[in-house]
Amino acid sequence: MTATIAEVLVDGPEDVEEFNRWAMENRWSDGLPLLPPTPQRVAQFVRASGRDAGEVVMRVPPNWADATVEKVAANAVMAGCPAYCLPIVIAALQALAHPACNLYGSQATTHCCTAMVMVSGPLAAQAGMQSGSGAFGPGLHSNGAIGRAVRLALQNIGGAYAGEADRSTQGGPAKYTFCFAENEAESPWAPLRVDLGFAPEDSTVTVLSAEGPHNINDHVSDEPRGLLLTFAQTIATMGKNNAYCRNSDYLVAFGPEHAAILGRHGWSRRDVQSYLYERARIPYRLWSAAGMIGMLPMPHHFTGADGDFMVPMSDRPEDVLLFVAGGPGRHSSWIPSIGIGRSHTARIEDAKGERLTQLSR
């Protein structure tokens, strides 16, 4: 039986600074200022979700506690997340609970991964999200607060506190928040959600236990081959879990100017996926010398490889997920993953499981 907030209601300080000291002592914080989750604020957020307060959204490892709508709402209030964004926070948490994501592993691992959330579709703009310049933050948009709400819910409901159950060796700035919207307006390809089989009218969340974005700077290439060589050389690195964990996927976020080069030359998403699958590779003689060699089962077709065998960063071209994010400038990024968990994309739905088309602003 999950306790409601009314049953566990505690009297906290009204003063914001006092509240924040108190929240730190009670371990509800990520170290940055929080807004007090008063019953009135939490109730308002629950209403905005269109769901029952006691509905269990998912269970959060490692303590496998029920994430009720009310508990998620309390964390969203503390994160400074707008109430109308709660359906996105809930959808992200539900997606993270998909077994393919291995949230259990990512909550407790020594790796630096965090819960990355990408929103694709019409609800992103309604939520006041940024898909253009500075989409990874910071900025005057809701990206950061939505991502922080997800992270606080995972930490506080799941008990994944840094240095305790969250065993991340160094932590990482992306663990505060890592959330952005897809820039489909400037994409030469269909939005990622459509490529994955969702309708254009759907809005989706794509979640991944991911490192923060790694920059890819190419200021000189005006044709795909040179440009993508820069991408491949940035991605093929031995310190990434994707180099050793088979059956993993990773994300590549093209800045619009880089994407436009590919579009101008008629390169489809499949073309780019095939190129990166073929060219983002590490020579076996290096790959087999260090990194995570010997820790995981090696595919049969690797055995007996000579030193020149090129080890791919993903097992299949379709495990390289491409989309456009950001604004003007010749920068892109790739987003490595935990490796032992995959991305998952899910539709943002209402309480009845129907497509959500309107946030309650």
Partner 1 sequence: MLICTTPFTAMAHIEAAGMGMPDLPVVTVPHPLADRTAEQVGEMAAGAIESVVDGLLRRPPR
- Name the residues that contact partner 1, by CB under 8 A: 61-65, 108, 159, 164-165, 167
Minimum CB distance to partner 1, residue 161 (Å):
9
Minimum CB distance to partner 1, residue 126 (Å):
36
Minimum CB distance to partner 1, residue 61 (Å):
7
Closest CA to 189 of 277, 281, 120, 88: 120
233 near 305, Cβ under 8 Å? no
For partner 1, the closer CB: 220 or 295: 295
Minimum CB distance to partner 1, residue 246 (Å):
21
For partner 1, the closer CB: 160 or 359: 160
CA atoms within 13 A on the CB side of 115: 34
For partner 1, the closer CB: 165 or 194: 165
For partner 1, the closer CB: 108 or 253: 108
> Cα(51)–Cα(8) distance, rounded to whole angstroms?
20
Minimum CB distance to partner 1, residue 110 (Å):
9
Closest CA to 150 of 202, 102, 100, 95: 95
Minimum CB distance to partner 1, residue 210 (Å):
21
| Whole-number Cα distances in Å, 154 to 5, 68, 110, 283 | 17, 12, 16, 38
Minimum CB distance to partner 1, residue 113 (Å):
16
For partner 1, the closer CB: 185 or 289: 289
For partner 1, the closer CB: 48 or 160: 160
Residue position matching structure tokens 């209402």: 350
For partner 1, the closer CB: 63 or 133: 63
> Cα(178)–Cα(136) distance, rounded to whole angstroms?
7
For partner 1, the closer CB: 63 or 215: 63
Minimum CB distance to partner 1, residue 97 (Å):
14
* Dihedral sign for Cα atoms in the order 85, 91, 95, 96: positive
Minimum CB distance to partner 1, residue 177 (Å):
23
Residue position matching structure tokens 């935990």: 338
Minimum CB distance to partner 1, residue 59 (Å):
9
Give all strands (DSSP E) within the chain, no chain letters.
Answer: 56-60, 65-68, 114-120, 179-181, 204-210, 214-217, 250-254, 281-283, 310-312, 320-324, 331-335, 344-347
> Cα(194)–Cα(171) distance, rounded to whole angstroms?
34
Helix (H, G, I), strand (E, B) or coil at 360: coil
For partner 1, the closer CB: 145 or 152: 152
DSSP 236-249: --TTSGGGT-TT--
DSSP conformation class of 177: -
Closest CA to 196 of 97, 342, 340: 342
87 near 348, Cβ under 8 Å? yes
DSSP conformation class of 265: T
> Cα(108)–Cα(122) distance, rounded to whole angstroms?
34
For partner 1, the closer CB: 109 or 273: 109
Q: How many CB atoms lie within 10 A of CB 316?
A: 11
* R_g of the chain, CA atoms, integer Å: 21
